[in-house]
Chain A
Amino acid sequence: MSVIKGFLFLLGFLLLGDVLAALFNLPISAGVLGMLCLTFWLLVRGRMQEDLQAVAQPLIGLLALLIMPGVVGVFFVAGDYLDQWLAIFLALVIGTCLSVFTTLVLMSKLTPTASKQETAEDVQS
């Protein structure tokens, strides 16, 4: 029951995101707006909502499953792009390498070193 209640909460925020996107003509998806609204609401509330927690964890675990059907489509169009394999390879493999490198360097230069307690918490995994 609490999972369903939590799910209803998620749908409520999703619809809220939809309404906001339509009202203000934002090019952002309803899901992300809903996520930001949910975070903001929890911050204002100051504590976790039990039903939400019950549904969020399993649903987040399903993300990979939910993306997968879309990925299947690539096998059906891949043939049209074989002649551009070099561009695709460079963009996806080298491009991602460069952007990961930039993010890591920027972020680790700017981030103060973690306190002892955090490091201990991090080491275990």
Chain B
Amino acid sequence: MILESLKQQLLLTPYLAIALTLSAFFLGNYLFQKMGRPTWCPGILLAALLVGLFLGLMQISYQEYQQGAAWLVALLGPATVALGVPLYQQMHHIRRLWRPILLTLPLAAMLAAFYSVFLAWLAGGSSVLLASLAAKSVTAPIAIGITEQLGGQIPLLMGGLLITGVMATLWVNLLCRALQITDHRVIGFALGINGHAIGTVRAFEISPTAGAFSSLGMGLTGVFTALLLPWAWNLLGLAVVA
């Protein structure tokens, strides 16, 4: 009983949720280092598991946690804006490559959504599932907006985003080796288009150039998908009904 009222007391302020998020983040990173930095299991996945486990054990609902964590997540806005800084610093690289960038981006961003929706549809995924996974390669703040428009589920989207980010870093790693691609501009761009913020975090580990191209790929994919996907979705929806 005392524990229960103590829990209620602690949940009145966002501090418990924030402290929990930060501790899980550090612990997740620590475990990630201990495991030898495996690409298939990033620190963020471990951290999310730890938080989930804690919430389950303490019988705290996800909504209660989310309310507190929202204070931290609010920083996502300014952090997205901050990506303009590396973008500017690497502008000389980008300027030199404007042609391949403009040619690759629309097709790559469109296909990123198309492949997954098509495959899920083939396997008999429900319309809610399709709508939740369509924006899987788009950075979280934009993807949430798109998914709401399409009628998808936000928690499912966030899980999809995480797995997509992990898969993108994994596949970029494997395919670059297979195709013998070593150009950091190409690697970074592929990470940003397909792996959004998680790919971008990985790209900054590779080099500042890769990071800047990843930020660019992520930003452009977000803008492009936000503009086109809801529109394409309506067309597709009509086609299915007819």
Point out residues on A near B: beta carbons under 8 Å: 7, 10-11, 13-14, 17, 26-32, 34-39, 42-43, 48, 52-53, 55-57, 59-78, 81, 84, 86-88, 90-108, 110-114, 118-119, 121-125
Provide the B22-51 mask, 1 if CB < 8 A to any CB of A, else 0.
Answer: 101100000000000000001111011101
Is B206 a contact partner of A125 (Cβ separation < 8 A)? yes
Within 8 Å CB of A105, what residues of B?
A: 179
Within 8 Å CB of B78, what residues of A?
A: 7, 10-11, 14, 31, 59
Is A106 a contact partner of B85 (Cβ separation < 8 A)? no
Provide the B88-111 mask, 1 if CB < 8 A to any CB of A, else 0.
Answer: 110100000101100110011001
Q: Which residue of the partner chain A has the closest CB to B53?
A: A75
Is B79 a contact partner of A100 (Cβ separation < 8 A)? no
Is A101 a contact partner of B175 (Cβ separation < 8 A)? yes
A interface, over-half SS: helix
Q: Which residue of the partner chain B has the closest CB to A69?
A: B69
Is B198 a contact partner of A64 (Cβ separation < 8 A)? yes
A9 to B118, CA, bound (A): 42
| Chain B: interface size category | 35 or more
Is B44 a contact partner of A68 (Cβ separation < 8 A)? yes
Contact of A34 among B80, B167, B182, B222 (CB under 8 A): B80
Provide the B165-192 mask, 1 if CB < 8 A to any CB of A, else 0.
Answer: 0011001100110010111111001100
Contact of B124 among A27, A29, A84, A93 (CB under 8 A): A84
Within 8 Å CB of A26, what residues of B?
A: 226
Is B184 a contact partner of A98 (Cβ separation < 8 A)? no
Could you tell me which residues of chain B, from 136 to 183, have a CB within 8 Å of some CB in chain A?
A: 136-137, 139-142, 145-146, 149, 153-156, 158-164, 167-168, 171-172, 175-176, 179, 181-183
Contact of B197 among A67, A102, A103, A110 (CB under 8 A): A67
Known: A69-B51, A96-B112. 12 other contacts (CB 8 A): A28-B226, A35-B87, A60-B86, A64-B42, A65-B22, A66-B75, A71-B45, A72-B65, A90-B119, A90-B122, A100-B172, A103-B194
Known: A29-B222, A68-B24, A103-B108. A56 touches B168 (CB 8 A): no
